[in-house]
Structure 1
């Protein structure tokens, strides 16, 4: 159930954003992941999707998600829900966005998905990074800019997380040393590529078939990084249809050796999962590192 005072706050925020009086008639809890409480609200102007979380535990999480959604929407490559309002009500932060209804897939759904992602990845800037930290899951994702992907990946991603895992006794000294050794090899492993605009958390749980029959993605952890990061993430937890990868490869072929870099790119989300969900991801991380 959604608190009545919170419904009043949401109504006011939406009314201000949409420039029309909004009244919430019903707030129905829906499944939306492990971090946030999520609701479909029925109003006099239609349905909206609402996320709630603890404002003190996750400061700026929804502010960054709001910005990330708008950034990805602005390039007009993939479909994403429109963020509409955000703020704080009592101890809760809230984010209100367009409610996306599920559609029937177009015949070339996977091909369109792969080509659309390649178009998004062509959006670039001078440095790898992003204007300030955001989140992957409940972990802060630091995005200090560097003009080198190996330096960015080592100092913003792998080294901070393996040291955090060590401090929490989830990783031993040997695993830390293996990650440090890999980081020294990164300049030889990754061919130079321009920074690509990434979704940042593109796995099978973060897309649906949108009302237009195409892929609709959500819950981004946006930054400018190496495009193989998004593609490696799609291969975790079941992977995407092979037509997705074939279409992407035809639209913008990956550099030689990409197959050997999948595990390296997956190290970051695997470390995140070990920190969030426990040490059973240790073996997956160790298996990737043994090749280096």
Structure 2
């Protein structure tokens, strides 16, 4: 991975769709730019440089200190330690991350999803005796708390669920009874969820964080890396929708899943529901989903 300040600047006259030049490393000129859909946390552009290379640029004036560097490091960890295909990092700056451009449209056939399932199962073969990471990271715009813990139930409760209850968006969305219910559910986690130990996880694994290589294979982007229960990745893929059953079948061929994994996924996805509320505030659909999970298991 290269993190040296390589140039990406918008040619004159700049394209009206181009990222603001002040966000980008100086030197290399972009001939054109197209704003991409998605980019929930930060705007994203596909640019063609003057040397003909296509790159993807994520840029934001509001990016927190070290946010893009953490993402670049996470991509490197997934590729080098976890064996996942990830896009190459061209440059990292405080307000921009420049990646090689691949294919944003998924082939969406069985072969693609089977390869993705096996790749994620291979990632989860990388184990650790503790949950956490050497430093905090980011899930979307919110800090991901990664302090080490040998207790998986406590780690998931404190670092992946309860940490959201003080976020303003969640406080606006949930009342005192909701928060008390979530706390009771967390106290019951040892009775509700098996502890399969800590594995290397992508951490923000849903359909929109998969793209394709030029050859049509799965490529993984936007990580929130840590050692955690591998089922957290599986749950997000299952609960956020759009992922065919062949993904889970292929995953289970490499790493067998518990018979009750779909039921466990409902609880594990509470982290994602709260993260969305933290971002978007009192969305009625997500508030209802949180309340349904609490009512089901408390």
After TM superposition, is the score higher than 0.5? yes
The residue that corresponds to 1:37 in the other structure is: 43
The residue that corresponds to 1:216 in the other structure is: 219
The one of 66, 76, 98 aligned to 2:72: 66
Which residues of 2 match residues 1-292 of structure 1 at below 5 A?
Answer: 1=16, 2=18, 5-6=21-22, 9-12=24-27, 22-43=28-49, 44-55=51-62, 58-75=64-81, 77-88=83-94, 93-101=95-103, 104=107, 108-164=111-167, 168-279=171-282, 280=284, 281-292=286-297
Q: Could you report, residue by residue, the CA deviation over 1:17-76 in whole angstroms, capped at 9, with x for unpaired residues?
A: xxxxx3333333322423212222222151111110124x52221011011011001136
Aligned partner of residue 191 in structure 1, secondary structure: coil
Residue 247 of structure 1 deviates from its aligned partner by 1.1
Residue 237 of structure 1 deviates from its aligned partner by 3.2
Structure 1 residues 3, 215: closer, same or farther in 2, change over 3 A? Answer: closer
Residue 236 of structure 1 deviates from its aligned partner by 2.7
Residues 45 and 56, structure 2, Cα contact 8 Å, conserved in 1 = yes
Residue 127 of structure 1 deviates from its aligned partner by 1.0
Residues 166 and 172, structure 1, Cα contact 8 Å, conserved in 2 = no
- For 1:101 and 1:267, locate their aligned partners in 2 and report how far apart those are by CA, in whole Å: 31
Residue 282 of structure 1 deviates from its aligned partner by 0.9
- For 2:169 and 2:30, locate their aligned partners in 1 and report how far apart those are by CA, in whole Å: 47
The residue that corresponds to 1:16 in the other structure is: none
Aligned partner of residue 296 in structure 2, secondary structure: coil
Aligned length: 277
Aligned partner of residue 42 in structure 1, secondary structure: strand
Structure 1 residues 256, 167: closer, same or farther in 2, change over 3 A? Answer: closer
Residues 124 and 230, structure 2, Cα contact 8 Å, conserved in 1 = yes
Residues 153 and 195, structure 2, Cα contact 8 Å, conserved in 1 = no
Residue 5 of structure 1 deviates from its aligned partner by 4.7
Structure 1 residues 97, 181: closer, same or farther in 2, change over 3 A? Answer: same
Aligned partner of residue 69 in structure 1, secondary structure: helix
Residues 105 and 214, structure 1, Cα contact 8 Å, conserved in 2 = no
TM-score, length basis structure 1: 0.87
Q: Could you report, residue by residue, the CA deviation over 1:222-269 in whole angstroms, capped at 9, with x for unpaired residues?
A: 111111111110123323111111111121112343232111110000
Residue 163 of structure 1 deviates from its aligned partner by 3.4
Residues 104 and 211, structure 1, Cα contact 8 Å, conserved in 2 = no
RMSD of aligned Cα (Å): 2.2
Unaligned runs of 5+ in 1: 13-21
- For 1:58 and 1:231, locate their aligned partners in 2 and report how far apart those are by CA, in whole Å: 28
